[in-house]
């Protein structure tokens, strides 16, 4: 073979101290996040200084700082990052319209009327989020749409607010795992050469038992919240219930494969028009000038401001992760696992451990799937592990950690959404609190390990 036929080795970003030096900034970030979580600091804005410190450490350790800076900026400017930031802000606007319309009070009124309180309300929230996430294929979109609507009613309905947010996050996880239009389902199937229909069909044997366990746990532990009999909730009536048409319209549009931004913008317009027609929103509430302070205020501005914390967190985190990826650590991780297993069970366990490490380091499910997919396919074929089985192990694993670990975007987003309950006297929760009680992801993780250990479903 001539030298012209040999593929050049990829050029990785070099750090002082080698791979250890590349990991130090991320370790600094993890230590800071853990400290904040254990100390009870729930605001995602508290992550900003920690991420800046981690980025500074990465800059000092990078051998080529100019190249490193370019890598960080490219990581921040990815289309998926811009999509998330726009979604955070537009979702905040939609939530502002819904809250101002009295929808939450009407939801409390309706739930009390049918006796759906405590754990029953938490279980229903889980099922609602399962349906929305399965229909739309987006876990982040489900959190954005459902959390601001369901969380503020927790206190008035005697639901445990922490368990309720765990149920909302768990329901979002469910659809991300099994929906045929989910990005993780598509990525896991395509990397293993499997058809989507077969992947979804075989995945149900794992997802449904995990979902059933989670539903029972949410119902059992979801009660016990302090009922807040405020005047607003006591006088609630059905006037705000028609406003549910706005988020439902967004769900329907997303099911039709309409872009998330188009769906959210349409929902905002629908909420504004419907609120004005029903008389539950005044025109001045939407936008007005505060001449004394030389500023503009209103539901639109208030809603967009809600998304600032998680948006800046996302930008900084994606910059940090981009530098880590450019160091080649994930590629080295995959290479180091090749050829170590001697049995089918051993291969599956190496697949699980490798994809676990990849998603914990990149914090992004699809990136981890694309990085590990080739290794899983080669190793699986060698030991006769079917394409459906490989895709299922990979996808179930990446649908656990980002929804449990307190530094990943889904848990941080869920925590940021709890600001919607401040007017009702509910706490602003931390990502760590919510992730720990996401019973569905924990059950799915247990199901994955049981399936590997016992061989359940290996004939897929």
What single string gives the DSSP state of each residue in 33-99?
A: HHHHHHHT---GGGHHHHHHHHHHHHHHHBSSHHHHHHHHHHHHT-HHHHHHHHHHHHHHHHHHHHH
* Residue 119 within a domain: yes
Contact yes or no for 238/109 (Cβ under 8 A): yes
* Residue 328 within a domain: yes
What proportions of the chain, in percent to the nearest 5, are helix, strand and coil? 75, 0, 25
Question: Is residue 267 domain-shared with residue 342, that is, in the same domain?
Answer: no
* Residue 58 within a domain: yes
Range of the domain at 148: 80-308
Question: Is residue 372 domain-shared with residue 303, that is, in the same domain?
Answer: no
* Residue 412 within a domain: no
Question: Is residue 267 domain-shared with residue 376, that is, in the same domain?
Answer: no
User: Which helix (H) or strand (E) covers residue 288, if one does?
Assistant: strand 288-290
pTM: 0.86
222 SS3 class = coil
Alpha-carbon span 337 to 350, nearest angstrom: 7
User: Which helix (H) or strand (E) covers residue 295, if one does?
Assistant: strand 295-297
**What's the domain count of the chain?**
2
367 SS3 class = helix
Question: Is residue 352 domain-shared with residue 203, that is, in the same domain?
Answer: no
Question: Is residue 222 domain-shared with residue 161, that is, in the same domain?
Answer: yes
Per-residue pLDDT of the chain (460 residues; tens, 9 = 90+): 344 444 444 578 999 998 899 999 999 998 988 888 777 666 678 889 999 999 999 999 999 999 999 999 999 998 888 888 888 888 888 888 888 888 878 888 888 888 889 999 999 999 999 989 998 888 988 998 899 989 998 988 999 999 999 999 999 999 999 998 888 998 999 999 999 889 999 999 999 999 999 999 999 999 875 555 444 444 457 888 898 898 889 888 887 878 888 988 999 999 999 999 999 899 988 988 877 777 888 899 988 888 888 889 889 999 998 998 899 888 888 777 766 767 889 999 999 999 999 999 888 888 889 888 888 898 888 889 999 999 999 999 999 999 999 899 999 999 999 988 888 889 989 899 999 999 999 999 999 999 999 999 887 7
Exposed, middle or buried, 48 (CB in 10 Å: 0-12/13-18/19+)? Answer: middle
User: Within 10 Å of residue 454's Cβ, how many Cβ atoms?
Assistant: 10
Question: Is residue 332 domain-shared with residue 296, that is, in the same domain?
Answer: no
Question: Is residue 261 domain-shared with residue 280, that is, in the same domain?
Answer: yes
Question: Is residue 214 domain-shared with residue 90, that is, in the same domain?
Answer: yes
Tokens 């206190």 sit on residue: 155
User: Which helix (H) or strand (E) covers residue 290, if one does?
Assistant: strand 288-290
Question: Is residue 159 domain-shared with residue 223, that is, in the same domain?
Answer: yes
């Amino acid at each position: 073979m001539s030298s012209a036929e040999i593929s050049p080795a990829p050029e990785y970003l070099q750090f002082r101290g080698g791979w250890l030096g590349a990991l130090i900034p991320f370790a600094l970030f993890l230590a800071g996040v853990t400290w904040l979580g254990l100390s009870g600091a729930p605001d995602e804005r508290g992550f900003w200084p920690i991420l800046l410190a981690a980025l500074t450490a990465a800059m000092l350790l990078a051998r080529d700082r100019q190249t490193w800076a370019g890598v960080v900026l490219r990581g921040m400017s990815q289309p998926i990052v811009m999509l998330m930031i726009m979604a955070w802000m537009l979702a905040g606007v939609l939530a502002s319209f819904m809250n101002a319309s009295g929808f939450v009070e009407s939801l409390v009124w309706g739930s009390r009327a049918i006796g759906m309180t405590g754990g029953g309300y938490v279980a229903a929230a889980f099922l609602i989020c399962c349906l929305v996430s399965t229909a739309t294929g987006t876990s982040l979109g489900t959190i954005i749409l459902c959390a601001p609507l369901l969380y503020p009613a927790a206190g008035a309905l005697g639901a445990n607010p922490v368990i309720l947010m765990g149920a909302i996050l768990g329901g979002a996880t469910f659809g991300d795992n099994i929906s045929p239009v989910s990005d993780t389902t598509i990525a896991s199937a395509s990397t293993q050469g499997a058809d989507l229909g077969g992947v979804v069909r075989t995945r149900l044997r794992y997802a449904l038992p995990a979902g059933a366990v989670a539903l029972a746990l949410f119902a059992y532990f979801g009660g016990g919240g302090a009922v807040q009999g405020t005047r607003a909730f006591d006088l609630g009536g059905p006037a705000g219930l028609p406003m549910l048409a706005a988020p439902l319209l967004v769900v329907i549009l997303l099911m039709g494969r309409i872009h998330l931004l188009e769906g959210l913008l349409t929902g905002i317009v629908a909420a504004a028009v419907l609120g004005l027609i029903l008389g539950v929103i005044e025109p001045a509430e939407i936008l007005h000038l505060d001449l004394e302070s030389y500023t503009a205020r209103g539901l639109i501005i208030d809603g967009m401001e809600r998304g600032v914390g998680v948006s800046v967190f996302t930008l900084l985190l994606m910059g940090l992760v981009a530098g880590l990826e450019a160091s080649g650590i994930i590629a080295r991780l995959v290479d180091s696992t090749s050829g170590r297993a001697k049995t089918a069970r051993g291969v599956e366990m190496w697949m699980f451990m490798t994809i676990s490490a990849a998603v914990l380091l990149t914090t992004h499910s699809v990136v981890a799937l694309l990085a590990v997919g080739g290794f899983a396919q080669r190793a699986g074929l060698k030991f006769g592990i079917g394409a459906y089985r490989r895709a299922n192990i990979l996808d179930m694993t990446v649908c656990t950690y980002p929804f449990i670990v307190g530094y990943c975007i889904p848990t941080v987003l869920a925590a940021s959404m709890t600001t919607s309950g401040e007017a009702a006297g509910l706490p602003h929760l931390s990502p760590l609190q919510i992730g720990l009680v996401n019973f569905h992801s924990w059950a799915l993780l247990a199901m994955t390990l049981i399936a590997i250990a016992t061989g359940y479903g290996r004939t897929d």
